[in-house]
Structure 1
Amino acid sequence: MKRAIEHVAAGRWPAGESSDAVTLDYDARFRRRMVLHCDSGREVLLDLPKAVAMADGDGLRLEDGGWLAVRAKPEPLVEIRAADAHALARLAWHLGNRHLATEIADGMLRIRPDHVIEAMLEGLGARLTRVERAFQPEGGAYGDHAGHHHHDDGDAHGGHTHGGHGGRIHHHHDHHH
């Protein structure tokens, strides 16, 4: 099985030279080592030195010098709109306070569906719309991947889940509210 050994950001690799592509959802685009099922049907082993947050248009260099294009797979999302910029900022604060992976777009926010969070947002005056599109949430302030704590294979190493966090895995940390 061929190995993908290097991740290169979009615009920094020869995209015209890719021999294949891999279409991955948000969670699968943050990995260090896993078997990738390419769009052509072949399998490639992702074997990077550390977990990397991949985005649509990025490239993976194969050990033989070839390239694999990364595509973001559309997935169910909720678009969040508010009456004005202040109200939208308030909604963003509530999502951030819950460590929820959130994509910031022009005049709106996007999250994965979560009925508890959606009810909270509607209670705060948000207008919600269900869509299906690629999800590219904001990266964390400390260089992490949008709320993920670095796990090599997506496993929970001592983490715990919070029902109100969409089942996301988090390590314990103190909050001062």
Structure 2
Amino acid sequence: MIRATTVVRRPAVRDEKVVDEITLDHHARHRRRFAFTADGGLSFLLDLDKASVMDDGDAVKLEDGRLVRIKAAPEELVEVTTANPLRLMKVAWHLGNRHVPAEITETAVYFVDDHVLTEMVRGLGAGVAKVHRPFRPEKGAYEASEAHAGHAHGEHSHEAHHHDAHSHERHEHQDHEHHDHGEPGHVHGPGCGHDHKHG
């Protein structure tokens, strides 16, 4: 089976290189290694160095240089709207505080249908409606900066790669559970009792 080893971001996708498209939901667009069959029947093995979130309009590059374009599949989402922007910002903050993947627009916030979260949002005074549309949640800050750096420079720094790996690790555990990063209250710094060597 032919492999796809690179994600090409939307601005760099050349239409003449696209040979097929694949429609994936949000979770399926966050993969490192997986066997896929595209919408037109082309089978390939996604085999990336690390997990990467593929956006609508991105493509994966096959070993022979051909591209398979990514399409975001419509999903059952909750659309949150409010009477004013400040209240919408508060809704977004509460969702982010619970590590809920959310898509934020100027007039609404979207998240995957969940009755507990829906009731919480209603309690904040927001209006909710169930909709069926593609889900494009916000990326983490490190992930977004890496994608920008990759588009601008064609490569990633070691530091960006290190942080992005941790960002994806958190993402895999963030659905309705807390991801533990070590002993509670443990902070590295002056007086922590650890031998820190620099250089």
Residue of structure 1 in register with 2:121 after alignment: 121
> Are residues 1:29 and 2:37 paired?
no
| Residues 137-176 of structure 1: per-residue CA shift (max 9 Å, x gap) | 11113327xxx9525xx9x6xx5x76xx2xxx6521469x
Residue of structure 2 in register with 1:95 after alignment: 95
**Distance of 2:113 and 2:48 partners within structure 1:** 30
SS state at 2:55 partner: coil
Unaligned runs of 5+ in 1: none
Residue of structure 1 in register with 2:18 after alignment: 18
Contact in 2 for aligned 1:15/1:59 (Cα 8 Å): no
Task: Tell which structure's C-alpha radius of gyration is larger.
Answer: 2
The change in CA–CA distance for 1:70 and 1:82 in structure 2 (over 3 A counts) is same
The change in CA–CA distance for 1:170 and 1:71 in structure 2 (over 3 A counts) is farther
Q: 2:168 aligns with which of 145, 150, 163?
A: 150
Structure number with higher strand proportion: 1
* Displacement after TM superposition at 1:43 (Å): 1.7
Contact in 2 for aligned 1:9/1:57 (Cα 8 Å): yes
Contact in 2 for aligned 1:57/1:69 (Cα 8 Å): yes
Contact in 2 for aligned 1:36/1:44 (Cα 8 Å): yes
Contact in 1 for aligned 2:23/2:71 (Cα 8 Å): yes
Tell me the number of residue pairs that the alignment of Structure 1 and Structure 2 aligns: 162
Residue of structure 2 in register with 1:59 after alignment: 59
Residue of structure 2 in register with 1:171 after alignment: 179
> Are residues 1:4 and 2:4 paired?
yes
Structure number with higher helix proportion: 2
* Displacement after TM superposition at 1:64 (Å): 1.1
**Distance of 2:120 and 2:65 partners within structure 1:** 49
**1:103-118 alignment to 2 at 5 Å?**
103-118=103-118
| Residues 68-103 of structure 1: per-residue CA shift (max 9 Å, x gap) | 111111111111001101111111111111111010
Query: Which runs of at least 4 in structure 1 moved beyond 3 Å after TM superposition?
Result: none
* Displacement after TM superposition at 1:52 (Å): 1.1
Contact in 2 for aligned 1:3/1:45 (Cα 8 Å): yes
> TM-score, normalising length from structure 2?
0.74
Contact in 2 for aligned 1:15/1:69 (Cα 8 Å): no
SS state at 1:138 partner: coil
* Displacement after TM superposition at 1:107 (Å): 1.0
SS state at 2:40 partner: coil
Contact in 2 for aligned 1:149/1:170 (Cα 8 Å): no
Unaligned runs of 5+ in 2: 145-165, 186-199
> TM-score, normalising length from structure 1?
0.83
SS state at 1:28 partner: coil
Residue of structure 2 in register with 1:134 after alignment: 134
